Amino acid sequence: MEKSQEGLTVKKDENFSEWYTQLIEKAELADLRYNIKGFLVFQPWSVLSMEKMFSSMEKVLQRKGHSPYFFPTLIPENNLKKESSHIKGFTPEVFWVTQGGDNVLEEKFALRPTSETAFYQMFSLWIRSYKELPFKTYQRANIFRHETKATRPFLRSREFHWIETHCAHASKEDAMSQVKEDMETTKEVLHDIFGLPFMFFERPSWDKFPGAEKTFAADVLNPDGKVVQQPSTHILKQEFPRAFGVTFKDKNGEEKTVWTTCYGPAISRIFASVMIVHGDDKGLKFPWDIAPLQVVIIPINEEVKQKAEKLKLEIEKFASVKIDYSDKRPGEKFNYWEMKGVPIRIDLGLKDLENKKITVFRRDLDKKEVVSESELIKKIKKISEEITKNLTKKADNLFNNKIKDAKNIKEIKKIIEEGGIARCNFCSVEKEGEKCAEIIEKETGAQVRGTKLDEKQKPNGKCAICGKPAHNIVYIAKSY
């Protein structure tokens, strides 16, 4: 038996790192042997799921008025230089193209680390009047960052697959409305379709996107208490569009600079959270709409082959389905498809068919049910409606009792060590609070994730670190 087909040999809650590594290899999600560090080959099982994830996100974006574009992968150095804080923030991570064939290029080009400077060059040509605003665009693209920290497949690579939206607005208030819409989109897709629980934070001033006035991000919680930053959305400083001359004439004919926002759901990174949040000691579990394969049929013997083919024809009218005709033993097949996370497995045995009964295994509950042959299709459709709800409900419970209040660094450290998220009074999320954040990271290994926009409590008392009057309530967690 091939190594990739063996089951997982470690438990998720005992050795998460090894569990994650084995799952990538044995569920055939990616091959890490490509000979450039930080780049991986995505294999069919992850690609099939990610294609569905892209589709889910793009449908929502288009419904909300974003138009799709394809922009060049190369960005002139001159474009990046136009906004100084942006290039300063990204320069250490940029891959540069300096030669074409045998010729050294007069100007070097960046492999896009993000595309604001490409979009805004064109916005300056396309936008003329307030009547064209908001101007809402997006592209599905690969981006490249020379990540100097340790890389981790799907979670942190030097090339990742994402969607980036870039929008122009008439006012700062309109830009903030777009941020709130992006937050709703994150819930609609990440939570309701992908089943991922998250908290949406406004990042502190020292953790903003290069060139941003405000940065907001969704942190997905992992079972081990760490968080993963998922889609972030930003209101950019007006210096950004101003540098590219992105202006419009308002109702009075006065020329004004637009306000711009950008939003970046990294599908390859979100896939990592799907693996981590829903996966268990057997392997993957997929929400229905993003499962690479939704139904697998296992014929126990040759006599039921004809019945398997007939069932496949019925099921493929509403779901993706495959018959496993491999020469592995039934038990091996069961374990293999459970590890791959297929939501529904149909076990076909001759004796069951003679009794007009069929065994259905559902991966969300790891439970077998015997149903009458006449009720099978109806049962599969019912399960398909329940699977994502069940996985989402279980995932939502990750936040139960995880958020705990802390009054000082000692309590923060204890909460973090126990795999929780600390909430505390904090002096300021502006520049003057950065020293307190550095103390937290040094003492606990965790970071100030930011403030919640919907925070119902008000700061009352002193900063948990420096003792100065508190102006914010912040959340602190370890992250990947």
DSSP 164-217: EEEEEESSHHHHHHHHHHHHHHHIIIIITTT---EEEEEPPGGGPPTTEEEEEE
pLDDT at position 205: 96
List the one residue out of 162, 163, 160 whose CA is nearest residue 145: 160
Q: What is the Cα–Cα distance from 339 to 319, expressed in whole angstroms?
A: 20
The domain boundary residue, chosen from 383, 416, 431 = 383
Q: Are 123 and 239 found together in one domain?
A: yes
pLDDT at position 5: 55
Q: What is the Cα–Cα distance from 83 to 77, expressed in whole angstroms?
A: 11
Assigned domain for 187 exists: yes
Domain containing residue 452: CATH number:
3.30.110.30
Report the C-alpha dihedral over residues 300, 306, 309, 315, rounded to 10 degrees: -80
Assigned domain for 259 exists: yes
Assigned domain for 373 exists: yes
216 token code pair: 């907001």
Q: Are 57 and 147 found together in one domain?
A: yes
Q: Are 106 and 160 found together in one domain?
A: yes
Q: Are 239 and 93 found together in one domain?
A: yes
Assigned domain for 90 exists: yes
Q: Are 65 and 180 found together in one domain?
A: yes
List the one residue out of 194, 170, 211, 164 whose CA is nearest residue 58: 164
Q: What is the DSSP letter of 235?
A: E
Assigned domain for 391 exists: no
pLDDT at position 2: 44
> Which of 362-369's residues contact partners 24+ apart within 8 Å by CB, and which partners?
362/387, 363/285, 363/286, 363/338, 363/387, 364/285, 364/390, 364/391, 365/390, 366/282, 366/338
This prediction has a pTM of 0.95
Q: What is the Cα–Cα distance from 64 to 152, expressed in whole angstroms?
A: 33
Structural domain harbouring 371: 295-383
Per DSSP bridges, beta strands 421-426 and 403-405 are parallel
Q: Are 153 and 222 found together in one domain?
A: yes
Q: Are 313 and 442 found together in one domain?
A: no
pLDDT at position 90: 72
Q: Are 443 and 377 found together in one domain?
A: no
Q: Are 300 and 371 found together in one domain?
A: yes
User: How many structural domains are present in the chain?
Assistant: 3
pLDDT at position 82: 86
Q: Are 350 and 415 found together in one domain?
A: no
Assigned domain for 69 exists: yes
Q: Give mean pLDDT in consecutive 10-residue pieces for the chain, a chain of 480 residues.
A: 68 93 97 93 98 98 98 94 74 91 96 95 98 98 86 90 98 98 98 96 95 95 90 96 96 97 97 97 98 97 91 97 95 97 95 90 97 96 98 92 95 96 97 97 97 88 97 95
Q: Helix or strand or coil: residue 358?
A: strand
Residue 51 one-letter amino acid? E
Domain containing residue 142: CATH number:
3.30.930.10
Q: Are 270 and 307 found together in one domain?
A: no
Assigned domain for 410 exists: yes
pLDDT at position 1: 36
Q: Are 147 and 225 found together in one domain?
A: yes
Q: What is the Cα–Cα distance from 220 to 40, expressed in whole angstroms?
A: 23
The domain boundary residue, chosen from 247, 278, 309 = 278
Assigned domain for 160 exists: yes
